[in-house]
Amino acid sequence: MSIFIFSDTRVIVQGITGGEGKFWTKHMISAGTKVVAGITPGKEGETVEGVPVFHTIRRALSQVQADASVIFVPASFAKDAVFEALDAGLKKVVVLADGIPTQDSLEIRSWALSLGAMVMGGNTSGVATIGESMMGFIPFWLTHVYGKGNVGIMTRSGSLTNEVASHVVRAGYGFTSVIGIGGDPVPCTRFAEVMPLFQEDVHTKALVIVGELGGTMEEEAAELVQKKIFTKPLVAFIAGRTAPPEKKMGHAGAIVTAGKGTVSSKVGALEKAGARVASRPSQVGELLKESLRGNGDG
């Protein structure tokens, strides 16, 4: 078990014929993902890794059935691609592009919420259920980074997740599902919306949050713990303790204005709620041990 994607989730790849689309379709299939169709306008009739390509999702759905879509198109086309997937009735969408205009993300989120769909991204490395399925570009084959186990992980960052995940594995644990909600200032799905899924999943014994400065998502996560909506052990690492204020550090999300969204406010909220916060990635494994021991699962 796991969350969001499973071994039987039927996945469409939008932008399958591009360089990254092709490269990662191969890896998604070897991760166990059931890729049923690829979409690139003008390329219908071709195949990529044995997957049939269609001009549009509507045309694909006349031939195959699908539940989810992973989108490899550039940021400038991302909103249109997400709307195409949502209009076709797909309820799970992962949009990988880095650099989606913020107002596009607002529109995507608003539209997805009204349809009861969940969109992960943009600016994410994707989602994976280890040993079952992967949508995006998570190097699941690096078993010293992404071993299978009973810890869930959700994150606003890609490379940093690899770093943190490798320390979780070094400490002897592995993962159920990896959920990248993305590094944009306004992601299409928020931490607090993913946590109930991890709460329900019987195989997830603990959760790791990889956060960063900016926004209020870590504070919202703390609130779920405080209110006992999320009751499993929670360990967080939050990047940006020493970032100067008013400077954008790559992710537009990671900017502190008017004293809101600082790392110290996030750490404070999480610790007050009873979560453990690592001050360095290498401490995450140790804190996870402590939490699981405290929970009688050590």
Active site residues: 251
User: Is residue 160 within the footprint of other proteins (CB under 8 A)?
Assistant: yes
Residue 294 beta carbon to other proteins: minimum distance, rounded to whole angstroms: 26
Nearer to other proteins, 90 or 128 (CB): 128
User: Is residue 285 within the footprint of other proteins (CB under 8 A)?
Assistant: no
User: Is residue 179 within the footprint of other proteins (CB under 8 A)?
Assistant: no
Distances (CA, A) of 173 to 23, 36, 90, 138: 29, 32, 33, 18
Residue 264 beta carbon to other proteins: minimum distance, rounded to whole angstroms: 13
Q: Looking at residues 114 to 153 of the shown chain, list those that interact with other proteins (rule: CB under 8 A).
A: 114, 123, 125, 136-139, 142, 145
Pattern of binders to other proteins over 1-40, x per CB under 8 A? -------------------x---x----------------
User: Is residue 274 within the footprint of other proteins (CB under 8 A)?
Assistant: no
User: Is residue 249 within the footprint of other proteins (CB under 8 A)?
Assistant: yes
Residue 118 beta carbon to other proteins: minimum distance, rounded to whole angstroms: 14
CA–CA gap between residue 82 and residue 258 (Å, rounded): 33
Q: How many other CB atoms are there within 10 angstroms of residue 12's CB atom?
A: 28
User: Is residue 253 within the footprint of other proteins (CB under 8 A)?
Assistant: yes
Residue from 8, 116, 228, 247 in contact with other proteins (CB under 8 A):
247
Transcribe 101-130 into DSSP letters: -HHHHHHHHHHHHHHT-EEEESS--EEEET
Residue from 29, 71, 254, 292 in contact with other proteins (CB under 8 A):
254
Stretch that binds other proteins, among 87-95, 224-232, 237-245, 288-296 (CB under 8 A): 237-245
User: Is residue 262 within the footprint of other proteins (CB under 8 A)?
Assistant: no
DSSP state of 133: E
Token code pair at residue 54 = 């269609």
User: Is residue 110 within the footprint of other proteins (CB under 8 A)?
Assistant: yes
Q: How many other CB atoms are there within 10 angstroms of residue 193's CB atom?
A: 16
CA–CA gap between residue 219 and residue 239 (Å, rounded): 14
CA–CA gap between residue 120 and residue 92 (Å, rounded): 8
Q: Looking at residues 212 to 231 of the shown chain, list those that interact with other proteins (rule: CB under 8 A).
A: 212-216
Stretch that binds other proteins, among 30-38, 41-49, 58-66, 162-170 (CB under 8 A): 162-170
Torsion angle (degrees, nearest 10) of CA 266, 212, 181, 84: 110
Q: Are 181 and 191 in contact (CB under 8 A)?
A: yes
Angle at 143 between CA 207 and CA 13, to 5 degrees: 80
Nearer to other proteins, 46 or 107 (CB): 107
Residue type, 284: V
CA–CA gap between residue 20 and residue 36 (Å, rounded): 18
CA–CA gap between residue 227 and residue 23 (Å, rounded): 43
Contacting positions for other proteins (CB under 8 A):
20, 24, 75-76, 96, 98-103, 105-107, 109-111, 114, 123, 125, 136-139, 142, 145, 155-163, 166, 183, 185-186, 210, 212-216, 237, 239-244, 247-254, 258-259, 279-282
